[in-house]
A = this chain, B = another copy of it.
């Protein structure tokens, strides 16, 4: 798997159905709350409030002057403002630099210092000329941000500028008014739920985006968790249906579901398929059917779901174990040290059990599916389970990681009693190959819940996501390690996504399991 010879297989009929479901975005005008100063504190960038924004339009800005604005919350949208000049008309174009940041570090750091692995094109910084003054400046690009800095690179000796009516036209396909009020007095839980909803809201655009700052794209790993949360909150079933249609219509090569896809400028599959991500097409369909009982859609999508199991089965060896590889063939978590074999095996069993339910719903024959489940379960127990250590191992070095155990719990290879013991042992032994992303943490919480350990699940959830809330998160971050808060797999955290879909699942847990 991994990077393939790109040969897209596009189903125009399904793509048209996806297009018909394109949501109309809800637009909301949001204005800055305060004028702030961003400075380096003892350990990190900090902000201090200078004033409200009532008198911003009185400030005369000359070359080198700047304004830093706090909009008070994260948002995704289009910024516009009025620019005028101190004299009647400006005798030269104004030249401005604009920075937009989800986090203070994006404002504080100098983009010229960026040496990260991802494109610096993601840095939300613009240099613009304004020829007509006074005028209204409407920035054409969409930004994901809470903070906005405007620096005057130049005006002329004859004039200074004034800025007024700064507005962000925030966009989302999620309607916050449709979300039920949370019936609890637990203020901390309410806070976590609020940040989770905001994360979901800002990622819900014309598709479920993974992150509205970066990559602004539909990844199926993110979609699965977003859709689950959506069914408990915004209930935008059409958006989920549209995204499943997109994955079913934009296939790769012989018919594999891709890891991610692009809607703009033209709908196209990404160039990579991943073992676990392709199988999650089954999960997405399973969850959607559970939420909607839309049998017609299930009928339409079932062949694509079944095909993913068939493709994945090609990887099963004689010993009933999924073949390992050194390439980027399976995701599971952002952890370079993680061996993926065991997790992949468990995800496969997990998805097949969902496929079996769907097959039964449609009164299809389940013999093939059952035989795969049996083969993979036996393979896992015979080859990956280490009875002595009490853990599933992965790869030729028999690595013991957190996520391997978690996924085997979710796959239901053992009975509940044995799973509880496995999860307790996991916490006690604490193997060094841990979890890195909220995406992995989601599956840990889910595994605890599926094993009936609701109190532990709630405690772990509040410990991890709650720590982000205590750190002042407006939305949940793509990456979060409470022990290393500046972590980035990209070489610089200015490129991290601070509002990320796969981190927005606390509302799912809270509303489905913790507050009934």
Contact = CB atoms under 8 A, between A and B. Distances in A.
Given A268-B88, A268-B89, A271-B87, A129 B117 contact: no
A482 interface: no
Interface stretch (A153-161, A349-357, A504-512): A153-161
Contacts of A155: 119, 121
A132 to B, nearest CB: 4
Interface string A127-147: 101011111000001000000
A1 interface: no
B119 A271 contact: no
Contact of A262 (B89, B126, B127): B89
A91 interface: yes
Nearest to A92: B119
A269 to B, nearest CB: 8
Contacts of A216: 131
Given A135-B265, A156-B121, A271 B95 contact: no
Nearest to A8: B88
Given A88-B8, A126-B127, A119 B93 contact: yes
Number of copies of this chain that the complex holds: 2
Given A141-B131, A265-B135, A120 B154 contact: yes
Given A8-B88, A88-B268, A135-B265, A153 B93 contact: no
A153 B265 contact: no
A264 B119 contact: no
Nearest to A95: B121
Given A264-B132, A271-B87, A154 B119 contact: yes
A271 B89 CA distance: 9
A118 interface: yes
A153 B127 CA distance: 13
B126 A6 contact: no
B6 A133 contact: no
Contacts of A133: 265
A445 B217 CA distance: 66
B135 A129 contact: no
Nearest to A134: B265
Contacts of A132: 264-265
Nearest to A261: B89
Contact of A118 (B87, B92, B121): B92
A88 B127 contact: no
A8 B88 CA distance: 10
A87 B129 contact: no
25 contacts: A8-B88, A87-B271, A88-B268, A88-B271, A89-B262, A89-B268, A91-B119, A91-B215, A92-B118, A92-B119, A92-B215, A93-B119, A94-B121, A95-B120, A119-B154, A119-B156, A119-B157, A120-B153, A121-B129, A121-B155, A121-B156, A126-B129, A127-B127, A131-B141, A131-B264
Given A89-B270, A92-B215, A117-B157, 11 more contacts: A87-B271, A88-B271, A91-B215, A92-B121, A93-B122, A95-B119, A95-B120, A127-B127, A129-B141, A134-B265, A135-B265
